[in-house]
Each structure stands twice: as C-alpha cells, then as structure tokens.
A and B are shown apart, each in its own frame.
Chain A
Amino acid sequence: MKNLTIWVILGLTLTFLIGPFIIIIFAGASAGEALAFPPDGLSLKWYFKVFTIESFRDSFLLSMFLAIFGTLTALLLGIPAAYALNRYDLPGNETIRTIVAAPIIVPGIIVGLALLRYLVIPLDFTVTLALFMAHTALVLPYAVRVVSSSLNNLRADMEEAAVLLGCTRMQAFMKVVLPNIRGGVLAAFILGFVTSFNQVPVSLFLSGPGVRTLPIDMLAYMEITYDPSVAALSALLAFMSLAIVFIAERLLGFSRYV
C-alpha cells in the first residue's frame, strides 16, 4: 500500500516535469500548419524551418552572447567576492551576502523595468549593454554561491603552505585555490549559462529594434504567427540544456555543486 502511494506520487511528479517536454516535442513535429496537440500528422519540417527564420538566428546569437559573456563577467566578479567573503571576517559580511543574492529575490520584471527607466532612457545606455548588465547581475548570485560552497571545502592552510614555499598571495590563489575549485567554477558557469539563456522577465522590458533575446523573440513571434515552429525551437533548446547538464554531470559530477 505504502509502495503504491510512492509510485503514484513519483508518477505524477514525472508526468508534470516531463509531460510538457514531450508535448512540445510532438507539437513541434506536426505536419500541420497550426500549433496543436496531438499534432496534425508527423513531420520534421518545422524543426528545419526554425533555422531559416532570420530573427531567431539573431536573437539566438544575442542570447548566446549574453549567456556566455554575462556568465564569464559574473564569474570574474563572483570568484573574488566569494573568496573574500569566505576567507576574511569582513564587517557586514552577512549584509554583503544578502545584497549579492538580491537579483534572485527581486522579481525580474522589476529589475528589467528599473534598468530601462534609470539607465536606458535617461542615460542613453544601449539595450544590449543594459541586457548584458542585467544578465550579469542575475547570474552573479549563483556564481558566488556555487564558488563559495567549493571554497568552503578547501582548507585555508593550503594557501599558507604555498606562501611559505615562496608564492605571493596572488600566485597562491592562481596555483592552489583556482585549480582546486575548478569543478565549482565550471558548475557555476553552466548553471549561470542556463539561467541566463532561459531567462524571460528581466529581458521583457529590455528589447529594442532588432535586439531581443531568444525567449522574448519567441513570445513576439507567437503573437503574430501561431505555427509549430516555436514548439520545435523550444524542444531544440530543451535538448541543448539537457545535453549541457548531462555532459557536465558526466565530466564533473555537476549535481554535487547545486
């Protein structure tokens, strides 16, 4: 009886988690002209069509750019921040941690609106720059947290040993700390990449002529054209995310860090 309950709960969970994914795969594989489930016959034409839609190509490149460089920048800022928060007993340590976590807590739509209202409009920041800042800020909390947790497992005396063998503090960091938190840094990169790539609310306000992230572009596309190409693209993106996480798990036991 107890076993049965567990199986039912497990089944429902999987249905809700994986169900939408399966629906999207099939909706995209429709032979018909309108988005529908069950699909109107099966074909791969919409999967190929996706690659011919020019605005998708541009917004894909923008999203890739934001995800890669936004995450790299977040790591560049986040690794030293995590290191300082871990190794030094700074005054206001807790406050700093809270502020760093703010972009996760504050609703994205407010972050987007604020950037638009206070940077893009009055200061003439380009939308791309505002998007870049927004994505960096959004990824930063993950970078700090994941790197922090791998720094926690690294004893401080290792750096002292390196210093006594002749390293400067900077050399000790580069030669001893960094190689030992490599897994955490990679995990933070992947988590950041996926978060940035899939992120909608912040980017909602930050779009201009020809400048849209892929998820926003897909929303816009659907308002005009209700065909299965969006489902096909969604399925492709889901596969991409899955592949990244799968490879990461294989290479470095990603789930340890998240």
Chain B
Amino acid sequence: MSDKYVRLSDLTLSYGKTVAVPNLNLDVVEGELIALLGPSGCGKTTTMRAIAGLLTPTSGAIEIDGRDVTRLAANKRGIGLVFQSYALFPHLSAFENVAFGLRLKNMADAEVRSRTEAGMATVGLAGFEARKPAEMSGGQQQRVALARSLVMEPKVLLLDEPLSNLDARLRLEMRTELQRVQKDTGVTMVFVTHDQSEALALADRIVLMKDGKIEQLGTPSQLYAEPATAFAAEFMGFENIFRVEGENLVSNSGQLRLGFAASSSMLAWRPGGVHVGQGPFSGRVVASSFAGGHREYVFDCQLGEIKADAPIETAEVPLGQSIAFDLPQSTARPLLA
C-alpha cells in the first residue's frame, strides 16, 4: 500500500491564458476513496482531466504508482474515468460498451466474454447485455459506464459527479453500490462532487477546493467537526458565521456582545448549535418550518438573520413574535478567516 499512489506536485492547469488550477499538491493513498468537493467552477473536472491525461498540465508533475506520467498519452495511463454524462457509445449494446476496452487488448473472445459478464454482474446488470444505452434508465446507464471502466482494472478510477443525474432514491442506492464496488475491488477512486452530504457519506478523505486551490483536506469527520475557514464551515452546514471584534460578534448589520472570550477571529454555529427558548439574546421570528425531527427558525436580530433548529417538543413561536436564544461557547466553532 502506497500512501502516495497518485501524486500531484505543483500542478498548474490552464485553458489558454486562464489559470484554472494554480499549483496543486495532493497525494492519494492506494485503495482509498477520495472526494474532490467544491463549488461549481473550482477546478474539480479540470483536475480529473489532468490526471486522466485529457489535459496537459502547464507545469508540475503527475505520478501514478511511482511512475511519472505527466507526458504519457491518455490511452496508456491505465486510468478509468466515469463521465458525468456517462459518454456511453450509443451504437453499441450494454455488453459491447463494457467489452469495448477489453477487445482493444487483443484478448481471446472467451475471456472478453467472461470478464464482461463478471463486470456487468458486479454492477447488478446481468441480463441487460443486449440493451442499447437509449433503452436504459439513467441509473442503469451509469452502471454500464462504471462497469466499462471497472473491467479494465484501472489503477485509478476517476468519477466526475457520477450521481448528479440521478433522482434522490437512485442516488442513495448508487452511493452504497459505489462503496461496495470499491471495497470489493480495492480500486483507488477519486470522486468529484459538489454535494457535501455525498462526500461525507462516501469518502475516506475529502479535498475541499476553492478557486483551484485546496481549502482543507481531511476525513469527513474532521471536516464536519472542525472546518478551518469560513468557506469550509459554510460548506459543512455552519449557517451562522460572524466576525469577532474584541468582546463582540460582528456582522454587516450590527453587533452583539458575546458572553465569553473568543480567541479566534471568527465563530460559527450550525442551526442545531443555537439554543432556542432561553438565553441572553432575543430575535424576532421571520420564518418557521417543520422539518420532521425539529423545527427550523429564522430569527432577525442585531446580527441580521440567525438560522436555528428547535426541538420539536417545544411550542411553536408564531411569526413576528420575539424569542430568546443563545449562541453558546460549547457549540461554537472557531475559524481562521
């Protein structure tokens, strides 16, 4: 097991004069499932395409399994890529789609057949061999695309938002499926998503990207509990983020005197970390909605809007009425900037 199985060193990627990814450094551990997470346009696809060899880096190096592949052609790298659009071959049956890469290897027909059938079984598509892509559902097409890459036994499997075209239920189903395939095959996976719950649920580690740079890298629990910056905190569901000046919390609309001494320059609370019903502060309810196990409030106070979750057992406070709340030290997350 190498912990530098895929190694990106000082990688700079550009389109003409626009630099999409400046100076990226990242090591991927062999056999792990790593997620590239970030907002639209932050360079996730660009990074993937560079690893796959579809985009030549402006500078820097890419190593895979100890070998420098920076200048190696895409068809010689042994990397699989599942496209967001699946990119299945519409003129070929599901079977021939999956067998496509094997046939290029001058493999005996019997072996092509057995490996393709095994691949289709792995993704739960046995029996669908004769279907054309147009005759399959989105989820099935996605699984064909996955099997097509898997049967090649790639060193690294890249997945570019593979679940984004699926409906909510199928997405959950495919998440489990992907995790199972990864555990079964042990293939190193790099997974792109802009959905933080997907990254948290699937990944061994998460690379949070912003403007082509790594904002934070860590395990899902690290990122969830300890986001380092306001950007990371926002991505991880801290919806109340304020600056700290002296003893006050400050926002663009005003300030509020904190009950404790803060050592960081910013503090953040999840909606669930705000105490509703009692406390030194008060706000006016501007929105309230039932969310199953809890009630989601939006208060208006000196700091502007606060999002807070209240236990469902407490009585509902009507719109317009004022409500007491606290921003306790115990649930506050200190942030760098």
A interface residue numbers (CB < 8 A to B): 155, 157-158, 160-168, 171, 175-176, 179-180
> Which of these, A157, A163, A168, A179, contacts B83 with CB under 8 Å?
A157
> Which of these, B54, B90, B152, contacts A165 with CB under 8 Å?
B152
Bound: A175/B100 CA distance, A:
10
Interface size class of B (residues with CB under 8 A): 20 to 34
- A176 and B89 contact, CB distance less than 8 A: yes
Report A142 CB to chain B, min CB distance, Å: 24
Bound: A163/B101 CA distance, A:
9
A164-B85 in contact given A171-B104, A179-B91, A180-B91 (Cβ < 8 Å): no
Report A63 CB to chain B, min CB distance, Å: 34
Residues of A within 8 A of B77 (CB): 164
Residues of B within 8 A of A165 (CB): 75, 100-101, 104, 148-149, 152
Bound: A164/B74 CA distance, A:
6
Residues of A within 8 A of B148 (CB): 161, 165
Q: List 18 A-B contacts (CB under 8 A).
A: A155-B85, A155-B87, A157-B83, A157-B87, A158-B87, A160-B81, A161-B83, A161-B88, A161-B148, A163-B54, A163-B74, A163-B75, A164-B74, A164-B77, A165-B75, A165-B101, A165-B152, A179-B91
Report A183 CB to chain B, min CB distance, Å: 10
Report B139 CB to chain A, min CB distance, Å: 18
The answer to whether the Cβ of B52 comes within 8 Å of any Cβ in the partner chain is yes
Report B6 CB to chain A, min CB distance, Å: 15
- B87 and A166 contact, CB distance less than 8 A: no
Report B155 CB to chain A, min CB distance, Å: 12
The answer to whether the Cβ of B233 comes within 8 Å of any Cβ in the partner chain is no
Bound: A167/B85 CA distance, A:
19
- B100 and A162 contact, CB distance less than 8 A: yes
Chain A residue at smallest Cβ distance from B80: A164
Interface of B is mostly: loop
The answer to whether the Cβ of B17 comes within 8 Å of any Cβ in the partner chain is no
A167-B104 in contact given A160-B54, A161-B81 (Cβ < 8 Å): yes
User: How many A-B residue pairs lie within 8 Å, measured between CB atoms?
Assistant: 56
- B91 and A161 contact, CB distance less than 8 A: no
- A161 and B87 contact, CB distance less than 8 A: yes
Bound: A167/B75 CA distance, A:
6
The answer to whether the Cβ of B267 comes within 8 Å of any Cβ in the partner chain is no
Beyond A160-B81, A165-B149, A180-B90: 16 further Cβ-contacts under 8 Å?
A155-B85, A157-B87, A158-B88, A161-B89, A162-B100, A164-B74, A164-B75, A164-B77, A166-B75, A166-B152, A167-B75, A168-B75, A171-B104, A175-B100, A176-B89, A180-B91
Interface of A is mostly: helix
Bound: A180/B89 CA distance, A:
8
B interface residue numbers (CB < 8 A to A): 52-54, 74-75, 77, 79-81, 83, 85, 87-91, 100-101, 104-105, 148-149, 152
Report B103 CB to chain A, min CB distance, Å: 9
Bound: A157/B52 CA distance, A:
13
- A166 and B91 contact, CB distance less than 8 A: no
- A160 and B101 contact, CB distance less than 8 A: no
Report B164 CB to chain A, min CB distance, Å: 15
Most buried by B among A163, A166, A180: A166
> Which of these, B74, B80, B89, contacts A158 with CB under 8 Å?
B89
Residues of A within 8 A of B87 (CB): 155, 157-158, 160-161
- A166 and B89 contact, CB distance less than 8 A: no
Report A64 CB to chain B, min CB distance, Å: 31
Report A26 CB to chain B, min CB distance, Å: 46
Chain A residue at smallest Cβ distance from B101: A165
Report B126 CB to chain A, min CB distance, Å: 21
Bound: A163/B75 CA distance, A:
5
Bound: A162/B83 CA distance, A:
12
Report A117 CB to chain B, min CB distance, Å: 46
> Which of these, A160, A162, A164, A168, contacts B89 with CB under 8 Å?
A162
Report A1 CB to chain B, min CB distance, Å: 46
Chain A residue at smallest Cβ distance from B83: A157
Residues of B within 8 A of A157 (CB): 83, 85, 87
Chain B residue at smallest Cβ distance from A159: B87
Q: Which 10 A-B pairs have the closest CB atoms?
A: A165-B101, A161-B87, A157-B87, A166-B104, A179-B91, A158-B87, A163-B75, A163-B74, A157-B83, A164-B81
Report B184 CB to chain A, min CB distance, Å: 21
A166-B105 in contact given A157-B85, A160-B54, A161-B87 (Cβ < 8 Å): yes
Report B293 CB to chain A, min CB distance, Å: 42
Bound: A155/B88 CA distance, A:
10
Residues of A within 8 A of B101 (CB): 165-166
Report B106 CB to chain A, min CB distance, Å: 11
Residues of B within 8 A of A161 (CB): 81, 83, 87-89, 148
Report B260 CB to chain A, min CB distance, Å: 53
Bound: A171/B100 CA distance, A:
12
Chain B residue at smallest Cβ distance from A182: B91
Bound: A155/B54 CA distance, A:
15
